[in-house]
Structure 1
């Protein structure tokens, strides 16, 4: 996301708006899919949450 200004330099404002709209739709659908996955397979999602927590603790600065 840090390179968004560089990408939007050669784009018209309409193209930038359309790109941001498509991105918002994609992120909304991605979040919806993750929620559905949590409901469908709670054991796997719990295991993934535990692994994510361990991974985050591994890289946390003290």
Structure 2
């Protein structure tokens, strides 16, 4: 069985020594993506304040009506 697990990891492109590095790189890319996404949302809110206000009101309504 261990050979099949190693083969599976190799087929998927995972190498035992690079797992930690690729996870760190993934977190770095994800953090950059989220920063860019938040920046884009802030820009959209500044450009379209009325639409942003309506979106905030809808979100508030969803949160008030949500049941835990």
* Coarse TM-score class (shorter-chain normalised): 0.7 to 0.9
Among 24, 29, 37, the alignment partner of 1:22 is 29
Q: Larger Rg: 1 or 2?
A: 2
Distance in 2 (alpha carbons) for counterparts of 1:51 and 1:60: 16
Q: Deviations over 1:27-62 (max 9, x none)?
A: 00010001001100000000000000000001044x
Give the length in aligned residue pairs. Answer: 52
Q: Given the two structures, how large is their TM-score scaled by the length of structure 1?
A: 0.77
Stretches of 4+ aligned residues off by more than 3 angstroms: none
Q: Which runs of 5+ in 2 are unaligned?
A: 1-13
Q: Which runs of 5+ in 1 are unaligned?
A: 1-9
Query: Which residue does 2:50 correspond to in 1?
Result: 43
